[in-house]
Amino acid sequence: MGEEAKVFGTWASPFSRRVELALRLKGVPSLLLKYNPVYKKVPVLLHNGKPITESLVILEYIEETWKNNPIWPEDPYGKAMARFWAKFIDDKWSPESEREKAMEEACECLKALESALNGNKFYGGHTIGLVDIAANFIGFWLSIVQEATGRELLSAHKFPLLFNWSHDFVNCGIVQECLPPKDKVLAIFKARVAAPSN
Amino acid sequence: MGEEAKVFGTWASPFSRRVELALRLKGVPSLLLKYNPVYKKVPVLLHNGKPITESLVILEYIEETWKNNPIWPEDPYGKAMARFWAKFIDDKWSPESEREKAMEEACECLKALESALNGNKFYGGHTIGLVDIAANFIGFWLSIVQEATGRELLSAHKFPLLFNWSHDFVNCGIVQECLPPKDKVLAIFKARVAAPSN
């Protein structure tokens, strides 16, 4: 499958970590490189000298290039549902906004994601798939945002299934290898909360 | 491939027409049905009794279910580029907004799309592909918006390659079968322009 994959990303970004996690699930060795200003966005996957941007587009490329350990369901309808939910997460979710309306929207989003689990451990069923990877910031970053802001969105009481999912997700060995240090991310969010808003 | 495909859509919507065009390129008979309030969004593709929403997600499903006349390039990198541009169009393009900033952004978007043609007749090369289908409202609806508002964005002078593309696109036989009547769409946009803004 050609040369080693290089990922230009930032260590704290959930979008960069999506790409890293997908590559790790495929067993593809990858180098995480610091943001290269040639590319205006992160993450960028550089493979065989060709750059790809947009984390969901990169995940599709990874699935098609390395066929082992499929991240997508096999049937076209299952694939469509996975793509729908991955897009849903990116379109609807705004975790860092403080406005009341955004909080309400975030609650609606979590409600929909709770029901989309359909009684499975992961969105991918028994194993981690596209939607789990796309939801990584709900699994890991959200609890940090909650700690930094003192606002609770995802609790065992309000969304028991999704809460369990987030627990299972962050405790999955391969996921843990692709998460940044919690204390450092928390420090970033606490500093943001303390900064005067504009 | 199972039962006939049904599309719940609205006749004037470019998003519904994307789905219709893709099905027609595949030679799949489809029924365009009026919006069904069971589904909150349009278009919805109903196939074998299962609903799929989001036009780009539906296009992926169509490509995977009916393998003839591929809409995507064959290689993973070409696919990634097509997906990037299709997503780019949906994320960046706001044709109906009147604000100056939106006009500037639309110009930037057209500039990027002009360069993405890479000297080809269509984004799909010699034939219509994913990006051409996704760009249908730039090919057809934009000229109508321009006529209704009196503002010119896409001209032969400013974007010669994209202007030629839009001409080739709307004059393609199979595309013409999937476009709504121009005069009716123009009437809708003229009415919108005349209505007091809120």
Ordered by start, the domain boundaries in chain A are: 5-65, 76-194
Half-sphere exposure in the Cβ direction for A14 (13 Å, CA): 21
Mean pLDDT check: name the lowest of A55-59, A96-100, B32-36.
Answer: A96-100
Q: Which of A19, A39, A52 to mutate to test the interface with B (most CBs of B within 10 A)?
A: A52
Contact A52 B80 (CB under 8 A): yes
Most confident listed range (A10-14, A36-40, B35-39, B96-100)? A10-14
- The average pLDDT across A153-180 equals 95
Res B198 pLDDT > 70:
no
Band (B106; pLDDT cuts 50, 70, 90) = confident
Q: How many CB pairs under 8 A join A and B?
A: 54
CATH of domain A76-194: 1.20.1050.10
On whether the CB atoms of residues A41 and A29 are closer than 8 A, the answer is: no
- Chain B residue numbers with beta carbons less than 8 Å from the beta carbon of A81 are 52
Band (B2; pLDDT cuts 50, 70, 90) = low
* Confidence at residue A96, expressed as pLDDT on a 0 to 100 scale: 55
Token output for B41: 């969004």
With an 8 Å Cβ cutoff, is B50 touching chain A? yes
User: How far apart, in Å, are the Cα atoms of B188 and each of A33, A154, B13, B136, B198?
Assistant: 51, 44, 11, 18, 17
Q: How close, in Å, is residue B84 to chain A by CA atoms? A: 6
Global ipTM? 0.87
CATH of domain A5-65: 3.40.30.10
With an 8 Å Cβ cutoff, is A56 touching chain B? yes
3-state SS assignment for residue B189: helix
- Chain A residue numbers with beta carbons less than 8 Å from the beta carbon of B39 are none
- Chain A residue numbers with beta carbons less than 8 Å from the beta carbon of B77 are 47-48, 50, 52, 61
The whole-angstrom distance between residue A182's C-alpha and the CA centroid of its chain comes to 15
